[in-house]
Amino acid sequence: MVLWILIAVLTGIAAFAALWPLARRTPVLPAVQSDVAIYKDQLAEIERDRARNLLPPEEADAARIEVSRRLIGAASRDTPELAPSTLRRRAAALAVLLVVPAVALGLYGRLGSPKLPDQPLQARLDAPAENASLEHLVVQVETHLARNPDDGRGWEVIAPIYLKAGRFAQARQAYANALRLLGSTSEREASVGEAATAAADGIVTADARAAFERAVSKDPANAKARYFLGRAKEQDGDKAGAISDWGKLLAAQQTGTPVAAFLRREIARLGGPAPTEAPERGPNAEEVAAAGKMTPQDRAAMIEGMVAGLASRLKDGGGPLDDWLKLVRAYSVLGQKDKAIAAAADARKALAASPDQVRTLDDLVKSLGLEG
């Protein structure tokens, strides 16, 4: 109903704006008014001259007829109701009042949704999440949090959305609320510091640095916190310290990941020698040719020897996550389930400082069916 009232009001305003200039009559030109007055004066003058016997009756009648003819001609030029322009104005007014609204309503009835009921704001907020846009989802969460300010999960859900949308102050407050309500973890502390840094135009403030330090104390492998602590050193003028911290962080990353590539660019930006990725050693052409001539038994023995060498190296000196995953996968392919499970247990111990890497290892164990 509100929509129809709005349409009617807008149509009335548009019609009034179009009819206003058409409703004004064309003013009589000053020249026309002057001619009529002159001819009337001339008729009066003829009557006065005739009354004083200054004009013979025949001349007075002839003059009166001529002036009257001219008066009628001048007066006929001020007849707007008979002018073609008046008819055009009336036709235009009729079109504005009838044709335009009729065409508009017809198009709306055909192309629009006149039978669709109004949907108030609350109904839109209560709509299923799968049918809502991101903006509506944000409004839903904000409305929920306004009613339930102690919902820590809600604050944790909306905080990264604020951060990606550039609403840094709101992101910082949302992360702080989640931290206060849900408890301190390495990830939450790092997120609080990240939002505080973004709100300060990229400057690692004292509060942000404290948050990153708390994150590292809870998880020394927290890459986000370690990176920003390196940036704090750079801002303090300690470029060598930043390069050193980022180099250590890079060494702990999987090769070829976006994080590793980003750290290399940052180290290069500060003028530091970015470590090069150690290429994985594969068999050369001679070894491939030799393997092709081996018997199946010899080839299996060679593979087992390579796997045993990898296992020995990892057990003695440890290694990155990629190598542990290769070892577990290799034992599984060889059908040595017990060794694969034992290798996974060793990997968990070696990677205990990095929960994210342990989760990746556990995912592989589950996919290979090595649980239980």
Q: Provide the 10 A C-beta neighbour count for residue 250.
A: 21
State residue 178's pLDDT score: 93
DSSP string, 103-159: HHHHHHHHHS-TTSPP--HHHHHTS-GGGS-HHHHHHHHHHHHHH-TT-HHHHHHHH
Classified as helix, coil or strand, 167 is: coil
Sign of CA dihedral 123, 129, 132, 133: positive
| Average pLDDT along the chain | 76
Report CA torsion sign: 227, 187, 220, 321.
Answer: negative
Burial 230-242 (b: 16+ CB within 10 A, else e): bbbbbeeeeeeeb
Give residue-wise pLDDT tens across range 142-198: 888 899 999 999 999 899 989 888 889 999 999 999 999 999 999 999 999 999 999
Q: Which stretches does DSSP call E strand in the chain?
A: none
The pLDDT value given to residue 19:
63
Question: 353: pLDDT confidence band, cut at 50, 70 and 90?
Answer: confident
Q: CA 54, 55, 61: angle at the middle one, nearest 5?
A: 150
- Residue 348 structure tokens: 């968990």
371-to-70, 346, 352, 364 alpha-carbon distances in Å: 118, 15, 19, 10
Secondary structure letter of residue 205 according to DSSP: -
Q: Which of 279, 268, 180, 191 is nearest to 228 (CA)?
A: 191
Which tens digits make up the pLDDT trace of 300-329?
666 777 778 788 878 766 778 888 888 888
pTM: 0.45
In the chain, which residues fall in CATH 1.25.40.10? 130-269
Tell me the pLDDT tens digit for each residue of 4-59: 677 677 777 776 666 666 555 555 445 445 666 776 777 788 888 777 777 777 77
Query: Greatest CA separation found in the chain?
Result: 154
Superfamily of domain 130-269: Tetratricopeptide repeat domain (1.25.40.10)
Copy the structure tokens of residue 312: 């020995």
**Which of 40-54, 88-102, 277-291 is the most confident on average?**
40-54
Q: Which two three-digit tokens encode residue 365?
A: 């164990």
Amino acid at 367: S
Look-up: residue for tokens 């309503």? 105
